[in-house]
Amino acid sequence: MAITSFRDLLAWLDARGDLAHVGREVSPRHELVSVLRRMQKGPNRPLLFGNVVGTPLRVATNVLARRETLAASLGLTPDTVLPEMAAREGQVRPWTVVADAPVQQVVVPAEAIDVARDVPQVVHSERDAGAYVTAGIFLARDPRTGTYNASWNRTQLVGGDRMRVRMMPPQHLGQYQAAAEAADAPLPVALVIGAPPALMLAAASKIPYDADELETAGAWQGQSLRVVPAKTVDLMVPADAEMVIEGHVLPHVREEEGPFGEFMDSYVEVGRNHVFRATALTRRSDAIYHCILAGGTEDLTLLGLMLRIEVHKRVAPLARIRDIGTPGQILGCVVAIEKESDAQVRAVMETAMTAHAWMKFVVVVDADVDPHDADDVLWAVHVRCRPDTGLLHLPGVPSFPRKDVEQLHMGKVAIDATMPMVLRNGIDRRRFPGTEKIRLEDYVDDRGRSTD
Ligand SMILES: Cc1cc2nc3c(=O)[nH]c(=O)nc-3n(C[C@H](O)[C@H](O)[C@H](O)COP(=O)(O)O)c2cc1C
């Protein structure tokens, strides 16, 4: 069974003993993110902060940082998630309107909203322009067809009812805004925080333009998404979310937004971007605010899953796929296969390189290599790759398209790090029987510290 609300997901993590509770007072300015960074470099557990300066709300982060959690939220396991999500492509399930929505337990009207007070002021990177909503999903309807789109867009919290956000075509939200603006009309939007997990995934996916992402989320979670009419805009919003900021993106208005530290660890510098004015803020009475560090493990796990599904769809007809990983970043991937021929590896390399626009490098490894473990993958590159014949280079083909960094992302390369067929039966990878059963704490007790 899928987990259909952010709150239920936190409860599920807590019941397993995974959720790390932070009771002490924490500043939302850099301290919260510093704790998160240490957690992501270490055990990578989800975090729930109970005492964040300046807000009565609790703050959750690193919630979807593990592949197991992401799969479980869809009622799946890490082994089944790629083929099953590929099979669910194109499926939709109509939403259900409910009368009593937890997300509307508190309603703050437009004149009373101060986003610099009502939303936790989490500041992430050193040079960020200030507090941003970093785990907010914009819901909007195509002004021409009424279809719902969901997308993640960072949002700068300015103050009062005012926020700034970048939304540019080809992103679907940017296309909606451009269409509304062409008619001199504001675009009604709802910024959803603490959304149902399936909606978070739909928002990270490149779903075809005319597919409805609320209905897609319903199909992905195996039950209709529970929605409620927003209070001040003509939109349905998820009834079980933690917080929704309703409002309009103003036509023909741009203000300076940024800088903001983005997912590749550099900054998106100041740009003249869109202005979002709130008309209501609704939330649960004990709302839990969600934030995501751009480029941290939660962000990369979410976006990585979408990339892995795309690659899986394309390479599955070519080879038996053990798994696909995106260790380190999401501008490349590692495909682990049950290799049957050298030509098959070549076909997987060529296909995976074009499976997603961002794909800058591909590594193909044998099924005994863990594609999520960067050390194991590099072991395969060191030990099994023959650079004279094992590389495929596509010069001049762009990958990540953002203007300020496009020169860095020119050309693609694929690496065959599988054992050549002629050597398969001659060179064994050694194994250490029983290693996986050893628990070091059963052996190391540090009592006999003396070396006498
Ligand atoms: C946590 C998170 C934050 C993101 N922030 C942004 C953002 O600020 N701007 C952006 O263009 N894309 C952002 N993305 C990527 C979009 O979700 C992605 O482009 C999405 O597929 C857009 O879908 P659409 O074209 O259907 O609107 C973010 C993704 C995640 C997971």
Test site for ligand 1: of 6, 125, 152, 155, most ligand atoms within 8 A of the Cβ: 152
> Are the C-beta atoms of 285 and 297 separated by less than 8 Å?
no
CA separation for the pair 60, 78 (Å, rounded): 23
Per-residue confidence (pLDDT) for residue 360, from 0 to 100: 96
Q: Of all protein residues, whose CA lies closest to atom 22 belonging to ligand 1? A: 151
Distance 4 CA to ligand 1 centre (A): 21
Distance 249 CA to ligand 1 centre (A): 17
Distance 205 CA to ligand 1 centre (A): 8
- Pick out the chain residues at pLDDT < 70: 448-452
Assess whether 321 and 242 both reside in one domain.
no
The CATH number for 329's domain is: 3.40.1670.10
Test site for ligand 1: of 61, 164, 171, most ligand atoms within 8 A of the Cβ: 171
Distance 324 CA to ligand 1 centre (A): 22
Domain that holds residue 307: 297-421
Q: Of all protein residues, whose CA lies closest to atom 10 belonging to ligand 1? A: 153
Task: Answer with the one of 285, 320, 349 that is the final residue of a domain.
Answer: 285
Per-residue confidence (pLDDT) for residue 424, from 0 to 100: 87
Assess whether 250 and 109 both reside in one domain.
yes
Q: Say which residue the tokens 């550099």 belong to.
A: 266
Decide if 362 is inside a domain: yes
CA neighbor of 245 nearest in space, from 206, 195, 202 = 195
Task: Answer with the one of 255, 285, 315 that is the final residue of a domain.
Answer: 285
> Residue 150 contacts by C-beta under 8 Å, 6 or more apart in sequence?
137, 138, 139, 192, 199, 202, 203, 213, 214, 217
Q: Of all protein residues, whose CA lies closest to atom 14 belonging to ligand 1? A: 152
CA neighbor of 93 nearest in space, from 211, 208, 196, 218 = 218
Please give the number of the atom of ligand 1 that sits closest to the Cα of 303: 31
Decide if 9 is inside a domain: no
Q: Of all protein residues, whose CA lies closest to atom 2 belonging to ligand 1? A: 152
Return phi, psi of residue 150, to 5°: -125, 130
Distance 346 CA to ligand 1 centre (A): 32
Distance 147 CA to ligand 1 centre (A): 18
Q: Of all protein residues, whose CA lies closest to atom 25 belonging to ligand 1? A: 171
Question: Taking CB atoms and a 6 Å cutoff, what residues make up the pocket around ligand 1?
Answer: 135, 149, 151-154, 171-173, 203-207, 292, 299, 302-303
Per-residue confidence (pLDDT) for residue 217, from 0 to 100: 98
pLDDT digits (tens, 9 = 90+) for 430-446: 999 999 999 999 999 87
Assess whether 130 and 205 both reside in one domain.
yes
Assess whether 134 and 274 both reside in one domain.
yes
Domain count, the chain: 2
> Are the C-beta atoms of 155 and 222 separated by less than 8 Å?
no
Decide if 432 is inside a domain: no
Assess whether 270 and 313 both reside in one domain.
no
The CATH number for 124's domain is: 2.30.110.10
Distance 437 CA to ligand 1 centre (A): 41
Q: Of all protein residues, whose CA lies closest to atom 3 belonging to ligand 1? A: 152
Assess whether 341 and 193 both reside in one domain.
no
Q: Of all protein residues, whose CA lies closest to atom 27 belonging to ligand 1? A: 172
Assess whether 257 and 142 both reside in one domain.
yes
Decide if 127 is inside a domain: yes
Decide if 309 is inside a domain: yes
Assess whether 179 and 141 both reside in one domain.
yes
> Are the C-beta atoms of 322 and 368 separated by less than 8 Å?
no
Angle at alpha carbon of residue 5, lines to 246 and 124, rounded to 5°: 65
Dihedral of alpha carbons 429, 433, 437, 438, sign: negative
Per-residue confidence (pLDDT) for residue 449, from 0 to 100: 67
Assess whether 154 and 271 both reside in one domain.
yes
Decide if 205 is inside a domain: yes
Assess whether 317 and 339 both reside in one domain.
yes
Distance 206 CA to ligand 1 centre (A): 9
Distance 257 CA to ligand 1 centre (A): 17
Q: Which two tokens stand for residue 346?
A: 């070549």
Q: Of all protein residues, whose CA lies closest to atom 11 belonging to ligand 1? A: 153
CA separation for the pair 194, 15 (Å, rounded): 19
Q: Of all protein residues, whose CA lies closest to atom 6 belonging to ligand 1? A: 153
Residue 280 CA to chain centroid, in angstroms?
Answer: 27
Decide if 302 is inside a domain: yes
Decide if 356 is inside a domain: yes
Assess whether 281 and 305 both reside in one domain.
no
Distance 433 CA to ligand 1 centre (A): 44
Please give the number of the atom of ligand 1 that sits closest to the Cα of 306: 21
Please give the number of the atom of ligand 1 that sits closest to the Cα of 213: 26
Per-residue confidence (pLDDT) for residue 206, from 0 to 100: 86
Identify the bridge partners of residue 413 per DSSP, sorted by sequence position: 361, 393
Assess whether 113 and 237 both reside in one domain.
yes
From the CB of residue 367, how many other CB atoms can be counted at a distance below 10 Å? 16
Q: Which two tokens stand for residue 112?
A: 């009373």
